[in-house]
Amino acid sequence: MRYILKANSALIAPLALLYAPVVAQDAPTPVVFQSGTGDAASAQPVYIKPPRPEIGCDALALSSRAISYGFYDALLTPKKRLDGKLFATAMEKYRGYYCAFGRSGGPAVIVVVDFAKHSSEPRLYRVDLRTGDGLDSPIRVAHGIGSDPDDDGYATVFSNVYNSLSSSLGAAIGAERYVGINGLSLRLDGLEPSNNQMRYRDIVVHSYQPERRRYFNAEFISNKGRPGSSEGCFVVEPDKREWILDTLENGGFIYSGYSGELPKPIIPIPNANVIFARGTGTNPQPYPQQASETPAGMPGNPPTAPISPAPAGSPQ
């Protein structure tokens, strides 16, 4: 009998578990959702950013004429008002990008910068193309330190060259946000040969910490001095950062121009010192070859020709 029980023990154990009394457990509390909303008690509101306001090219033609007539037909205009010719140039660049090659409209609010003004003056305009709002209410923005070689607060040098620390002129499109050494910032993509290296040069829109007064110094501003400079980036006051980033993010339009007569630009070339052969003074070394400029999205702007290599047999 002992051997029979031992032989059948493998069968007895599962049967014992099968007929063992079941221990009662607490039934789970049912979760009841309201139709189409989920649990109303724990649901959190979700912010959905409204779409960017846009204006069609047909409406733009009428609106820009009305704005020009309303703001620029007087002989005298307020000092802070955006220059009429600069505004017209910005609109020409705008139409060249948004109203050609199958496009029929673009953002209704744009940004225009007048680098002819002193850096202590407000000179960045956020303009509503539907109404003209913002044409007479600019904010401050810094220019590149390389654009101000004599450090007098006026930008006279504009460059598209890497490491020139200069501002560049032309139309650009706002791209993505990111967090860098200056906090929340916005990348830009230049649309013209004069500024199509902006992403490569890391020319962006950003602000600064209030305790860092490199870009805007209140004492300098009160004395009409130079409030500060950047390394080519568009630097705005902290309380205006979100205002500008929201306008330009993911496809917004910014135009950097110069009202009045543009000073002859000096294009600094980094590491381009001329070295002469010892004792002769007649055998200069060639400039280092720069990367050729390529188009960055502006229809109708062909790429500039790359710098050709030195012809065969030329002195090296």
CA-nearest of 110, 118, 189, 185 to 154 is 118
Percent of the chain exceeding pLDDT 90 equals 45
Mean pLDDT of the 77-100 span = 91
Q: Which of 75-84, 247-256, 305-314 is modeled with the greatest confidence?
A: 247-256
CB burial readout 150-168, b (16+ within 10 A) else e: eeebbbbbbbbbeebbbbb
Q: Is 122 left (phi over 0), alpha (psi -120 to 50) or beta?
A: beta
Locus of tokens 């049967």: 15
CA angle in degrees (0–180, nearest 5) for 50-53-57 = 155
Cα–Cα dist 66/283, whole Å: 61
Q: What is the mean pLDDT of the chain?
A: 76
Lowest mean pLDDT among 59-68, 99-108, 205-214, 215-224: 215-224
CATH 2.40.440.10 given to domain 54-257 = yes
Q: Retrieve residue 229's tokens.
A: 């400079």
Contact 100, 304 (CB under 8 A): no
Mean pLDDT of the 248-268 span = 84
Q: Retrieve residue 192's tokens.
A: 């013209």
Cα–Cα dist 249/186, whole Å: 7
Cα–Cα dist 264/280, whole Å: 33
CA-nearest of 194, 177, 165, 202 to 256 is 194
Locus of tokens 């860098």: 180
Paired strand residues for 114: 257
| Domain definitions of the chain by residue range | 54-257
Q: Retrieve residue 205's tokens.
A: 């829109």
Identity of residue 43? A
CA angle in degrees (0–180, nearest 5) for 175-178-183 = 130
Mean pLDDT of the 60-80 span = 80
Q: How confident is the model at residue 217 (pLDDT cuts 50, 70, 90)?
A: low
Cα-atom radius of gyration of the chain, to the nearest Å? 32
Predicted local distance difference test score (pLDDT) of residue 263: 75
Secondary structure in 3-state letters for 128-145: ECCCCCCCCCCECCCCEH
Predicted local distance difference test score (pLDDT) of residue 215: 62
Summarize pLDDT for 273-302 with one digit per residue, the tens: 444 444 444 433 333 333 333 333 344 433
Contact 309, 202 (CB under 8 A): no
Paired strand residues for 166: none
CB neighbourhood size of 214 (10 A)? 14
- Quick one: CA dihedral 149, 154, 157, 162, positive or negative? positive
Predicted local distance difference test score (pLDDT) of residue 283: 39
Q: How confident is the model at residue 305 (pLDDT cuts 50, 70, 90)?
A: very low
**Burial status of residue 37 (CB atoms within 10 A of its CB: 0-12, 13-18, 19 or more):** exposed
